[in-house]
A = this chain, B = another copy of it.
């Protein structure tokens, strides 16, 4: 039974993290998902993991989703447009301008092509890191080109909708400027900081706290993938990083002599700009906060209380999507944060309140 806007079958080329996650999500909607990968081992892993079945020549998909590494994306898109002239083709590459330029250079008719970039990922790579809920509530950027047909645009919109993503439509060049700022330059900055640790004394690094862990988390990402992304968007990334360098030069000068007039102001201004910048990021309280509704309950911090709460939620019949329990102060109170689908929030709050639980905030 289908529970989707797309009708299928859907062909996914490239079964790494993103391809597998899309396959899992579309299959759970009842769609037929056909997988292809240049590596038979990678393909079989994704099939075993439940992302779809093997694509067989002769099958005509409604939509082809190209999830290959970025350096071969344009060539795979061209091949798929040729192999399936009735199908719409999209891709998930992180840089859209270079893909489009490469397609234009080949003089290919692009009415059936609409670029995509789902703003979702994990540090882990490969099929086994795939999650059917990877796209829920995350931006799915669609970058139609001048030739994209209305029909193909609607189909990619349906894909984003079926994946639970939040659709954003952008010009390919605008997209590349935006991701240089929010994704590509941050990758370099995180790597620059983490690189300082590589040659440091282990005893120094052992003092690391959560701040350093968070700041350097994405520096654990795959260098091969990122070399491709960064070279495909080098000019836009440079524009951001040159401004970072100018600010850094000012800070270095200020640190040279902090008693010099203006030095502290210069450091303070940077820190305040940082505050302002963080405040602009939407949903900054963790990924669950952006995808699910949060209900915080105040409970006694003793064995069995959380279980009693969850038992009652089970009785109410609402599925928890995520749960975090911030450990309480000496005050002997626990504040579990329950994450549920936004559509279940009101029912949960009302049912819990009716059973005497105290909802906070």
Interface residues of A in 193-217 (CB under 8 A from B): 193-198, 200-217
Interface residues of A in 231-274 (CB under 8 A from B): 231, 234-235, 237-238, 240-245, 247-249, 251-252, 255-256, 258, 263-264, 267-268, 270-274
A281 touches B317 (CB 8 A): no
How far does the alpha carbon of A50 sit from the alpha carbon of B224 in the complex, in Å?
53
A361 at the interface (CB under 8 A from B): no
How far does the alpha carbon of A206 sit from the alpha carbon of B302 in the complex, in Å?
40
A131 at the interface (CB under 8 A from B): yes
Report B-chain residues with C-beta under 8 Å of the C-beta of A252.
238, 241-242, 245
Least Cβ distance of A246 to chain B in Å? 10
A177 at the interface (CB under 8 A from B): yes
A284 touches B325 (CB 8 A): no
Interface residues of A in 304-361 (CB under 8 A from B): 304-315, 317-331, 336
A314 touches B303 (CB 8 A): yes
How far does the alpha carbon of A303 sit from the alpha carbon of B216 in the complex, in Å?
36
Indicate which residue in B192, B209, B311, B327 contacts A133 across the interface (CB closer than 8 Å). Answer: B327
Report B-chain residues with C-beta under 8 Å of the C-beta of A263.
231
A273 touches B231 (CB 8 A): no
A168 touches B258 (CB 8 A): no
How far does the alpha carbon of A282 sit from the alpha carbon of B190 in the complex, in Å?
17
Known pairs A196-B181, A205-B281, A223-B275; A187 contacts B216 (CB<8 A):
no
A112 at the interface (CB under 8 A from B): no
Known pairs A248-B248, A325-B322; A274 contacts B311 (CB<8 A):
no
B207 touches A196 (CB 8 A): no
Q: Which of A23-31, A72-80, A145-153 makes up part of the contact surface?
A: A23-31
A96 at the interface (CB under 8 A from B): no
* Closest Cβ neighbor of A228 among chain B residues: B264
A308 touches B303 (CB 8 A): no
B183 touches A212 (CB 8 A): yes
A89 at the interface (CB under 8 A from B): no
Q: 10 smallest A-B Cβ distances: which pairs?
A: A304-B314, A191-B274, A197-B277, A194-B277, A307-B310, A219-B274, A223-B271, A195-B273, A132-B330, A178-B204
Given contacts A216-B278, A241-B248, A245-B245, 15 further A-B contacts (CB under 8 A): A27-B330, A49-B329, A120-B209, A181-B196, A181-B197, A188-B248, A192-B248, A195-B276, A196-B240, A219-B277, A221-B271, A231-B267, A235-B255, A304-B314, A307-B311
Interface residues of A, Cβ cutoff 8 Å to B:
24-25, 27-28, 49-50, 119-121, 130-133, 138-139, 141, 168, 177-179, 181-183, 185-198, 200-221, 223-224, 226-227, 230-231, 234-235, 237-238, 240-245, 247-249, 251-252, 255-256, 258, 263-264, 267-268, 270-284, 286-287, 301-315, 317-331, 336
23 CB contacts below 8 A, A to B, read A121-B211, A177-B204, A179-B207, A182-B205, A191-B271, A191-B274, A192-B247, A192-B251, A194-B274, A196-B240, A196-B243, A198-B280, A211-B217, A212-B281, A213-B283, A221-B271, A223-B268, A223-B275, A227-B268, A238-B256, A245-B245, A322-B327, A324-B324
